[in-house]
Chains A and B, each alone.
Chain A
Amino acid sequence: MTQINSILATDCGSTTTKAILIEKQGDEYRLVVRGEAPTTVEAPFDDVTVGVVNAVREVEELAGRRILDENNHIITPIQSDGSGVDIYLSTSSAGGGLQMTVAGVVKAMSAESAERAALGAGAIIIDVIAVDDGRKDFEKVKRIRELRPDMILMSGGTDGGTVKHLVELSEMLVSADPRPRLGIGMNIPVIYAGNKDAREPVAEVLDKRVDLRVVDNLRPTLDRENLDPAREAIHELFLQHVMQQAPGYSKLSDWVSSGIMSTPNAVGKIIQTVAEQFDINVLAADIGGATTDVFSVFGGIYNRTVSANLGMSYSICNVLAEAKTTGIGRWVPFDFDEARLRNSLRNKMIRPTTIPQTLRDLRVEQAVSREALRLAFEHHKTLARSLKGVQSVRTMADSIDQQETGQTLVDMMSLDMIIGSGGVLSHAPRRVEAAYMMLDAYQPEGVTVLAVDSIFMMPQLGVLSVVHPEAAAQVFERDCLIKLGHVIAPVGRIKPGELACTVTIGNDVYEVPFGTLKLVPIPAGESIDAVIKPARKLDVGEGRGRERKCKIEGGVVGLIIDCRGRPMVLPEDHSARIAKLIEWHKALGLEN
């Protein structure tokens, strides 16, 4: 690769197009400036590049140098007069991102594997159809007919296994005659990733009726999942089909130095890179206005889920519908009127760009975010699991000590880092509020680092990680990831007020009673040895009552010793609960 000194990357989101400029300064790559502009995939523009140019124009102004030529094209490579950039990359979720339907034979097996493949490729899944999903055939046909996905992923049968069910599934697709979301008059792309013996009969049924692509079986044997070929096919179709149909994307495709990547796919890439580079287990969440994406890497196994209807504005009332006012209200540290709360959330839904002006309004929004994050995480745990009915060898053989098959891979005690992203976390007025929201929503166990994405540039760094991993890793660590600090959280429950844990850091000793939170400021960049001694019935990762020695990193918030117990239980009595919430807020230096 020729020397790359200057990188421009954009992310075309549903509402905003974000551009970042990265340059090599001395030996390291750093973020220089960031610009943004409204996304322009809708009338009157109908051309995503208009928003890209506007965002890049802001970058030009802030950086004080020219990147666009007189025709508003991005200049690559960098010119002798210093104008332009060496490479230009982009991600996109504009126009609703990539929407898919997956179909499989057995809901808990091939259909679930197909779901994992599609989610990992950055899709939003609008339905999962399976032979055994409990719906009658005519109901499934009706449903497939109503949906207008960008593509369908079809799977089922191990190699050498069932053919009949797959042919019937194909007949069902033909019966429904599904149409793609974009491109009126076009055949819908269908990726077949099932039993290889069924390829021919499936093609006999589907050929010429759909745009059929055949890839390797994503579940070739019961005990093996092979998701990469299907994911690659999805990505290729995303570029060839969805992107080409979306307004202005064929033009954008000509501008970029490497293929446009779907935003969640790009975020997944950077999360995987981090997990691999530091050899850690990572959980990350991106909470947006409409959806919440959850990414995890446990034992090297990557999973991504998207909760399409859990968000902070557009879908805020779905959080209300799922969590109810009682679920949201349990995190609000003051009395509130239920009808007023409900109406205020409805008003946020219809006016999604408003922001909390009062502290009480902020606390309500942060209460909603705890529930949205928690619900999305619950969803993630149900899908990020080992293969059902067999010993898992998915991509890292024997990497997990399974007690039982089909168990979630999410193990909070072995989790090293939680990364939060999205407006409510990245732009919380005080960083400690972001830490607090993640603490309540995820309830980390043992010793875990909390971090936030400073300005939501993970998508751009994700696509960069494919082209230039070194630059992506450096910018991620130095400019993107803001470490909030470590959390120490003993697992188990004892009587409130009893000594839960003693943490010794150098000459300082912190004794923290059960039911309380303690904040210990440790500046960012510092790394110090700590000895954690939990109470006899509590566990911080070494077993009940057993001491744990570890390194504690500083952060912009500091070390939080969370002795509220795991699982954490809020007082049932209304006044006692509010008193407890106020006490915890105060412990973290927050007002109500």
Chain B
Amino acid sequence: MGTAYTPGLKISSGTIINKTRRLPLKGQVLVKVGDKVESGTIVARTEIPGVMQTIRVAEILGLEPPDALAALNIKQGDKVEAGQVMAMTKSFFGLLKSECKSPYNGTVELITSATGHVGVRLKPLPVEVDAYIKGTISEVIPDEGVVVQTYGALVQGIFGVGGERTGKIVVPTHSISDALTEDIINESHAGQVLIGGAGVTLGALKKAASIGVNGIVVGAIVDTDLIEYLGHDIGVAITGQEDIPTTLILTEGFGSIQMAERTYKLLKSLEGRTVSINGATQIRAGVIRPEVVASLDEPANSGESESSSQSLETGSTVRIIREPYFGALGTVTKLPPELVEVESGAVVRVLEAELGDGKIVSVPRANVEIIET
């Protein structure tokens, strides 16, 4: 076997990027194919029905359900206002009156004979979806959303937290080995996306959040720092919904790992540009990785593939992603076809790679990811 396939993260200075923007419910698409959109352009809108509030008319009036229904002066489909009398009873020759008023503005949706309850549906809540990236509408999904296409730079991270944001890229660090620390973050970084090298300290994260930095992209973080920043643990790798002011994207992983040189250089080259970032991560069927997208004006290079699977061949640059060489970069020197028993006792397909210090190591193929060159 001369080649093998291994997943890799897309790090590209110029590629076609498609983003599907979909409503949670059917609604109205506000743009058409060919329209130019900015990241904040609203492309689709819908209304989520309001919650239905139950008014216990029978209990309020102290009646049996059939009697409560008889006392109603509203019917299904009527609009009601807060304070409006929905039901009334008179007793003791009409001298004593009991009323049931609607506490809500809304529409009567349900009158239940078994319970004597009335359900009032509150006003619907508008939901809008924006374009997220600057680009052109390439497809309209009727009643559901659109696909926005752009040509630009794309950096996929390995893990992130926090949702979609935009901001200008600022690189306050000098190299891939520099961590983003508290002292190099200042008020001028509000609303921007900061790029670090090896990692980010907890102090820096907290300061960035308090200043209003929109995003941080770094190589790695110590897991306990992330937990403290979030205020809760992460048990399962589904993220993106966290209520945090600063989106965080890791390009390499947890611990202390330098950002890959190529990723750092690409992000550095984008300094001053406005990018769209999203920390949302889902590592399972339908993998979602966090990303940095910079729409560029250059003509589209339609020849480049969006695929994240690449061929592993002799000469490929790889990062080892498991002990005992975790984080090391190397060049594949051999892809032996036979199964090999590794130290743990597992019998697996391996590759041999030459590390930066000239050492040749053998590692399971499952434990490397290709670094695009």
Q: Which of B115, B366, B367 contacts A167 (CB 8 A)?
A: B115
User: Which residue of chain A is the closest to B361 with respect to CB atoms?
Assistant: A357
Contacts A205-B110, A317-B235, A359-B343; is A14 near B285 (CB within 8 Å)? yes
Q: Are B236 and A145 in contact (CB under 8 A)?
A: no
Q: A172-180, A270-278, A387-395, A507-515: which one contacts chain B? A: A172-180
CA distance A163 to B112 in the complex (A): 12
Contacts A205-B110, A347-B326; is A359 near B345 (CB within 8 Å)? yes
Residues of chain B in range 318-356 having any CB-CB distance to chain A below 8 Å:
321-324, 326, 342-348
In the complex, chain B residues whose CB is within 8 Å of the CB of A138: 51
In the complex, chain A residues whose CB is within 8 Å of the CB of B235: 309, 315, 317-318, 320-322
Contacts A339-B222, A356-B346, A359-B345; is A174 near B119 (CB within 8 Å)? yes
A340 to chain B, nearest CB (A): 7
Q: Does A201 contact B (CB under 8 A)?
A: yes
Q: Are B109 and A174 in contact (CB under 8 A)?
A: yes
CA distance A79 to B48 in the complex (A): 55
In the complex, chain A residues whose CB is within 8 Å of the CB of B114: 163-164, 167, 198, 201, 204
CA distance A530 to B237 in the complex (A): 49
CA distance A342 to B287 in the complex (A): 23
Q: Does B54 contact A (CB under 8 A)?
A: yes
Contacts A171-B112, A205-B110; is A357 near B285 (CB within 8 Å)? no
Q: Does A168 contact B (CB under 8 A)?
A: yes
Q: Does A349 contact B (CB under 8 A)?
A: yes
In the complex, chain A residues whose CB is within 8 Å of the CB of B285: 14-15, 39, 41-42, 94-96
Q: Does B63 contact A (CB under 8 A)?
A: no
Contacts A346-B254, A350-B253; is A204 near B346 (CB within 8 Å)? no
Q: Are B284 and A351 in contact (CB under 8 A)?
A: no
Q: Are B344 and A361 in contact (CB under 8 A)?
A: yes
Residues of chain B in range 234-261 having any CB-CB distance to chain A below 8 Å:
234-237, 253-255
Q: Does A141 contact B (CB under 8 A)?
A: yes
In the complex, chain A residues whose CB is within 8 Å of the CB of B3: none
CA distance A355 to B367 in the complex (A): 7
Q: Does A229 contact B (CB under 8 A)?
A: no
Q: Are A343 and B223 in contact (CB under 8 A)?
A: yes
Residues of chain B in range 33-49 having any CB-CB distance to chain A below 8 Å:
49
In the complex, chain B residues whose CB is within 8 Å of the CB of A343: 222-223, 253-255
In the complex, chain A residues whose CB is within 8 Å of the CB of B54: 137, 168, 171-172, 175
Q: Are A314 and B119 in contact (CB under 8 A)?
A: no
Q: Are B366 and A354 in contact (CB under 8 A)?
A: yes
Q: Does B194 contact A (CB under 8 A)?
A: no
Q: Does A2 contact B (CB under 8 A)?
A: no
Q: Are B323 and A344 in contact (CB under 8 A)?
A: yes
Q: Are B51 and A175 in contact (CB under 8 A)?
A: yes
Q: Are A321 and B233 in contact (CB under 8 A)?
A: yes
Q: Are A346 and B321 in contact (CB under 8 A)?
A: no
Q: Does A403 contact B (CB under 8 A)?
A: no
| Cross-chain pair count, CB within 8 angstroms | 181
Q: Does B369 contact A (CB under 8 A)?
A: yes
User: Which residue of chain B is the closest to A148 with respect to CB atoms?
Assistant: B24
A189 to chain B, nearest CB (A): 17
Q: Are A176 and B253 in contact (CB under 8 A)?
A: no
In the complex, chain A residues whose CB is within 8 Å of the CB of B178: none
Chain B 48-71 near chain A by CB (<8 Å), digits 1 or 0:
010111100000000000000000
Q: Which of A318, A347, A357 contacts B236 (CB 8 A)?
A: A318
Q: Are A141 and B322 in contact (CB under 8 A)?
A: no
Q: Does A290 contact B (CB under 8 A)?
A: yes
Q: Are B234 and A357 in contact (CB under 8 A)?
A: no
In the complex, chain B residues whose CB is within 8 Å of the CB of A347: 253-255, 321-322, 326
Q: Are A339 and B224 in contact (CB under 8 A)?
A: yes
CA distance A289 to B236 in the complex (A): 11
Q: Are A346 and B223 in contact (CB under 8 A)?
A: yes
In the complex, chain B residues whose CB is within 8 Å of the CB of A96: 284-285
In the complex, chain B residues whose CB is within 8 Å of the CB of A340: 255
Q: Does B146 contact A (CB under 8 A)?
A: no
A379 to chain B, nearest CB (A): 14
State the majority secondary structure of interface residues on A: helix
Q: Are B236 and A309 in contact (CB under 8 A)?
A: yes
CA distance A351 to B323 in the complex (A): 13
In the complex, chain A residues whose CB is within 8 Å of the CB of B253: 343, 346-347, 350-351
Q: Which of A167, A339, A350 contacts B112 (CB 8 A)?
A: A167
Q: Does A429 contact B (CB under 8 A)?
A: yes
Q: How many residues of B contact A (CB 8 A)?
A: 55
Q: Are A429 and B344 in contact (CB under 8 A)?
A: yes
In the complex, chain B residues whose CB is within 8 Å of the CB of A317: 233-237
CA distance A14 to B285 in the complex (A): 5
Q: Does A494 contact B (CB under 8 A)?
A: no
CA distance A317 to B235 in the complex (A): 5
User: Which residue of chain A is the closest to B56 with respect to CB atoms?
Assistant: A168
Contacts A42-B286, A204-B112, A362-B344; is A357 near B222 (CB within 8 Å)? no
Q: Are B159 and A184 in contact (CB under 8 A)?
A: no
Contacts A309-B235, A350-B158, A429-B346; is A290 near B284 (CB within 8 Å)? yes
Q: Does B144 contact A (CB under 8 A)?
A: yes
Q: Are B345 and A430 in contact (CB under 8 A)?
A: yes
CA distance A15 to B366 in the complex (A): 15
A326 to chain B, nearest CB (A): 15
CA distance A184 to B48 in the complex (A): 13
B156 to chain A, nearest CB (A): 12
Q: Are B237 and A357 in contact (CB under 8 A)?
A: no
In the complex, chain A residues whose CB is within 8 Å of the CB of B343: 357-359
Chain A 402-445 near chain B by CB (<8 Å), digits 1 or 0:
00000000000000000000000001011000000000000000
Q: Are A184 and B25 in contact (CB under 8 A)?
A: yes
CA distance A219 to B322 in the complex (A): 51
In the complex, chain B residues whose CB is within 8 Å of the CB of A289: 284
Chain B 164-180 near chain A by CB (<8 Å), digits 1 or 0:
00000000000000000
In the complex, chain B residues whose CB is within 8 Å of the CB of A360: 323
Q: Are A349 and B283 in contact (CB under 8 A)?
A: yes
Q: Are B366 and A185 in contact (CB under 8 A)?
A: no
Q: Which of A14, A168, A179, A351 contacts B24 (CB 8 A)?
A: A179
CA distance A142 to B125 in the complex (A): 14
In the complex, chain B residues whose CB is within 8 Å of the CB of A361: 322-324, 344
Q: Which of A95, A142, A351, A362 contacts B345 (CB 8 A)?
A: A362
A490 to chain B, nearest CB (A): 31
Q: Does A353 contact B (CB under 8 A)?
A: yes
Q: Are B364 and A355 in contact (CB under 8 A)?
A: yes
In the complex, chain B residues whose CB is within 8 Å of the CB of A174: 52, 109-110, 119
In the complex, chain A residues whose CB is within 8 Å of the CB of B322: 347, 351, 354-357, 361
Q: Are B110 and A145 in contact (CB under 8 A)?
A: no
Contacts A185-B25, A315-B236, A342-B223; is A145 near B324 (CB within 8 Å)? no
Q: Are A314 and B283 in contact (CB under 8 A)?
A: yes
CA distance A163 to B65 in the complex (A): 13
Q: Which A-B residue pairs are the 3 nearest by beta carbons?
A: A429-B345, A318-B235, A201-B114
A-B contact pairs, 7 of them (CB 8 A): A14-B285, A42-B286, A185-B25, A321-B233, A351-B369, A355-B322, A359-B344
Q: Footprint of B on A, CB under 8 Å? A: 14-15, 39, 41-42, 94-96, 137-138, 141-142, 145, 163-164, 167-168, 171-172, 174-177, 179, 184-185, 198, 201, 204-205, 289-290, 309, 313-315, 317-318, 320-322, 339-340, 342-344, 346-347, 349-362, 427, 429-430
